Amino acid sequence: MIDPLDKTPLRSIGESPLTPQLAMRVAMLGAIALVLFSIIFFKLWFLQVLTGDQAVREAANNRVRTVAVAAPRGAVLDRTGQTLVENRPASVMQLDPAQLPAETRAAAATWGQQMTTWARTPRSKRGPQPKVPEPSSAALKQRYAKLASVLGISTATINQRVVQQLAQLPYANVRVQVDVTTAVRNYLLERPGQFPGVSVDQIYVRRYPGGVGAAQLLGAVGQVSPEQLKADSFRGVISGAIVGQEGIERSYDRYLRGVDGTKSITIDAAGKLKGQRISRETRAGNSVRTSLDANLQRSGEAALASAMSGGGTAGAFVALDPRNGRVLALGSAPTYDPSLRAKPIASQADYERLFGEAAGAPLFNRAISGAYPTGSIFKPITALAALDRGVITADTTIDDPGVLTVGAQKFYNAGRQANGPVSLVRALQVSSDVFFYTLGRDANPLKGQIIQSWARKLGLDKATGIDLPGESSGTIPDRAWRGRQNAKELAWEKQTGKKCPPDCLYSDKRPWSVGDNIQLSVGQGDVQASPLQMAVAYSTIANGGTVVRPHLGLTIESETGRQLERIEAPPARRVVIDPRYQKSILEGLHQSTLGDGTSADVFSGWDQAKFPVYGKTGTAERPPRPDQSWYAAYVPSATKPIVIVATVEDGGFGAEAAAPAVCEMLATWFAQPSSCSAGTSRTR
């Protein structure tokens, strides 16, 4: 035995175990090995040689992310170049929604839907506001708590901001805190592991130097919504970008927003930053120079505020250049500090407190979106229609006994005051209702509903085309309108099976009557117009027939102030106004600020020789509320003519609230000493 350890029983010593059968099986193993290696080789060849370039691209996609770098937004300037809105850089602490649990995102979406339903339910019927869902897990709550202690805000506030922003824009970064200090920023950035999904980025927030107000006009910016992304006007804007959402910011967003740059950042599988480079430079937004006059705007805001001190609840003013429709000032009250909206609002309750209905809905721009009965400032339109059709001449005298009886109805002057025989000029001066009631009565049977058609010619009943979003078109009632209202009411009753309540928005199912026309002739009844529309109508009368298109934007300027583009706002149309009629009406308007005119006492200290005021008071009845005070004025000037319309809701008679506010603005505009006082006229 050569190998004593070999105890193989089957084969003799030294015999090779390689039988033919085993050899065959070994060969088969070899063949299997060959096949398996071939499979791997072919697959490798396919992956690396044939389709390798594709994998190279996929690998690049893996690690390179393109993120937007917000371009600094352009500024908004007044007519002299004074800055109304500009940027300031701010550090914002953001939370990546992808790093939040799916349950949190789902809960936020549900809450958002509940809030929408809740907000749509009428105030009387809705229950308590849906509660903001708590953080979905203890771990998340802990994360919030840790952040909260660093940022110095409450955990609940963080949760609220996260939920609110997730509900609005599910995939955009959540802005937890704007203006974090450098210390906090460094603390957070040095501990990425402790604060997952947290980033601190530099953004630009809007700043409002000068304190001119004009909050509603300037508007606000906000993250682009998913619907907006689909719109043509937001082409090229990427998700999460900040765009203009209201006011000038919205209408000139295309120029203001600039072009966001992009940054290619290299990340690892855990999303950690490994490097970055700018792949497209940002292009700063251009500035918009507006026709606004910062001084006049400030003065208007202040005058309106003081006009409201006598019981007014809200109001608005518009000042136009009657030659071309340039908006010199435009404001709405109640108002707010626009810088409040540059940062996230802490809570829904805070939002309600600042911007809710209880706060007077300050976001609502009453100057362009308010639709009110205009009261007597409508009278020049009635006069123009009557003169044009020949219902009266400039010299026609109508006896005003204080009341006009039409059938069984009696229409009174304010306070049933009798003015005796009045001509047009006198009727405007003392605001005789009976004179205009008579015109309304006499115009009613005439073909073409002349008062309505003149109101429309002068720009009422449709949007003026101002370069601001959200303009209302108002209402000029006529036969067809009343027919439509009645049809609406009938349809509503048919659909719901209920009777339209007395405060039903539609009508009381009566046909058009002479009474409607009489109401319209003095700006009462169903007529509705915005202060802006009235300013356009007065401008048209003042300039002799050019229906101006009111506008704010003048030029687009580069960052350095170079003019890039002129914004043209050609007049909407021209109407033919006989200069004789224009003269009569203007004469009446001027007389109303003189002698025993309705606003004479307001302008008692005014230098009428230098700056003759053509004004008209208005007092709109809005039962059950107190009267709404109106005043419209035109002051001709070779260099700076101006039309101002102001209104004060619940402000009482026109001479009481609105007229002094207009007077103050005129004093500012013409650099005259303020000599305005509240008027005592009790006319409409």
Partner 1 sequence: MSATTVIQRSGEDAKAEKALGLQLPFDLVLVLATVGLAVCSLLTIAAATETDIPGSPDYFVIRQLVYFIVGGGLAVFLWRTDYSRLRELKYFLYGLLIVSILTVIVFGSVARGSRRAVDLPLFSFQASELGKVLLVVSLSAFAIDMTRRMADSRTTVRLLLIGLAPAALVMLQPDLGSALVFVAITLAVLFIAGVPWQHFAAFGALAAVAIALSLAVLPAVGINVLHSYQKDRLTAFLHPSETSGSEGYQQNQSRIAIGSGEKTGRGSGATQTKYNFLPEHHTDFIFAVVGERWGFAGAALVLSLYALIIWRALRILTVAKNLYGALLAGGIVVMLMFQVFVNVGMTVGVMPITGIPLPLMSYGGSSLIATMLAVGLLQSIYAQGRRAAMSQGRVLQFQ
- Residue 58 or 357 with smaller CB distance to partner 1: 58
- Asked if 268 interacts with partner 1 (CB under 8 A), we say yes
- Residue 31 or 491 with smaller CB distance to partner 1: 31
Q: How far is 573 from 552, CA to CA, in rounded Å?
A: 18
Per DSSP, the residues of 576-643 read ---HHHHHHHHHHHHHTTSTT-TTTTTTTTS-TTTS--EEEEEEE--TTSPPEEEEEEEE--SS--EE
- Asked if 191 interacts with partner 1 (CB under 8 A), we say no
Report CA torsion sign: 270, 274, 279, 284.
positive
Q: Which of 49, 183, 609, 638 binds partner 1 (CB under 8 A)?
A: 49
Q: Show the tokens assigned to 39.
A: 């499979």
- Asked if 273 interacts with partner 1 (CB under 8 A), we say no
CB 86, min distance to partner 1, A = 41
468 exposure class (CB count in 10 Å sphere: 0-12, 13-18, 19+): buried
- Residue 36 or 491 with smaller CB distance to partner 1: 36
Paired residues of 648 in beta bridges: 315, 629
- Asked if 52 interacts with partner 1 (CB under 8 A), we say yes
Evaluate whether 453 touches 459 at the Cβ level (below 8 Å): no
Q: How far is 443 from 452, CA to CA, in rounded Å?
A: 10
CB 137, min distance to partner 1, A = 21
Amino acid letter for position 625: R
Q: What is the DSSP letter of 13?
A: T
List the interface residues with partner 1, window 198-237 (CB under 8 A).
Answer: none
Q: Show the tokens assigned to 405.
A: 């009886």
List the interface residues with partner 1, window 1-30 (CB under 8 A).
Answer: 2-3, 5-11, 14, 16-18, 21-23, 25-26, 29-30
Q: Which of 41, 66, 101, 349 binds partner 1 (CB under 8 A)?
A: 41
Closest residue by Cα to residue 180 from 140, 147, 156, 155 = 147
- Residue 54 or 117 with smaller CB distance to partner 1: 54
Q: Which of 40, 138, 183, 358 binds partner 1 (CB under 8 A)?
A: 40
Evaluate whether 67 touches 256 at the Cβ level (below 8 Å): no
- Asked if 274 interacts with partner 1 (CB under 8 A), we say yes
- Residue 62 or 309 with smaller CB distance to partner 1: 62
Q: How far is 484 from 487, CA to CA, in rounded Å?
A: 5
Q: Which of 51, 66, 80, 99 binds partner 1 (CB under 8 A)?
A: 51
- Asked if 39 interacts with partner 1 (CB under 8 A), we say yes
- Asked if 102 interacts with partner 1 (CB under 8 A), we say no
- Residue 46 or 118 with smaller CB distance to partner 1: 46
Q: Which of 62, 80, 142, 186 binds partner 1 (CB under 8 A)?
A: 62
Stretch near partner 1 under the rule CB under 8 A, chosen from 37-45, 188-196, 333-341, 530-538: 37-45
CA geometry: angle 493, 494, 499, nearest 5 deg? 25
Closest residue by Cα to residue 336 from 352, 348, 319 = 352
**Binding residues for partner 1, total number by CB under 8 A:** 50
Closest residue by Cα to residue 469 from 252, 215, 213 = 252
- Asked if 56 interacts with partner 1 (CB under 8 A), we say yes
CB 264, min distance to partner 1, A = 13
Per DSSP, the residues of 386-435 read HHHHTSS-TT--EEE-SEEEETTEEEEPGGG---EEE-HHHHHHHT-HHH
- Asked if 671 interacts with partner 1 (CB under 8 A), we say no
Evaluate whether 523 touches 619 at the Cβ level (below 8 Å): no
Q: Which of 91, 262, 266, 674 binds partner 1 (CB under 8 A)?
A: 266
- Asked if 43 interacts with partner 1 (CB under 8 A), we say yes
Stretch near partner 1 under the rule CB under 8 A, chosen from 89-97, 128-136, 263-271, 575-583: 263-271
- Asked if 277 interacts with partner 1 (CB under 8 A), we say no
Report CA torsion sign: 588, 589, 593, 596.
positive
CB 101, min distance to partner 1, A = 17
- Asked if 44 interacts with partner 1 (CB under 8 A), we say yes
Q: How far is 222 from 242, CA to CA, in rounded Å?
A: 5
Stretch near partner 1 under the rule CB under 8 A, chosen from 51-59, 159-167, 368-376, 419-427: 51-59
Ramachandran class of 528: left when φ > 0, alpha when ψ lies in -120 to 50, beta otherwise: beta
Q: How far is 662 from 643, CA to CA, in rounded Å?
A: 10
CB 326, min distance to partner 1, A = 57
Taking the chain, what is the end-to-end CA distance rounded to the nearest angstrom? 138
Peptide bond before residue 209 is cis, with ω within 30 degrees of 0: no
- Residue 64 or 490 with smaller CB distance to partner 1: 64
- Residue 23 or 238 with smaller CB distance to partner 1: 23
- Asked if 491 interacts with partner 1 (CB under 8 A), we say no
Radius of gyration of the chain (CA): 36
- Asked if 118 interacts with partner 1 (CB under 8 A), we say no
CB 277, min distance to partner 1, A = 15
CA geometry: angle 182, 187, 188, nearest 5 deg? 100
CB 46, min distance to partner 1, A = 9
| Per-residue contact flags (x/-) with partner 1 for residues 608 to 647, judged by CB under 8 A | ----------------------------------------
- Asked if 270 interacts with partner 1 (CB under 8 A), we say yes
Please report the beta strands in 2-82, taking only residues with DSSP state E, as ranges in sequence order. Answer: 64-69, 76-77
- Residue 49 or 408 with smaller CB distance to partner 1: 49
Q: Show the tokens assigned to 46.
A: 């396919």
- Residue 18 or 671 with smaller CB distance to partner 1: 18
CB 1, min distance to partner 1, A = 10
Q: How far is 112 from 322, CA to CA, in rounded Å?
A: 46
CB 50, min distance to partner 1, A = 9
Stretch near partner 1 under the rule CB under 8 A, chosen from 75-83, 157-165, 266-274, 484-492: 266-274
Determine phi and psi for 205, rounding to 5 degrees: -115, 155
List contacts with partner 1 (CB under 8 A): 2-3, 5-11, 14, 16-18, 21-23, 25-26, 29-30, 32-33, 36-37, 39-41, 43-45, 47-49, 51-56, 58-60, 62-63, 266-270, 274
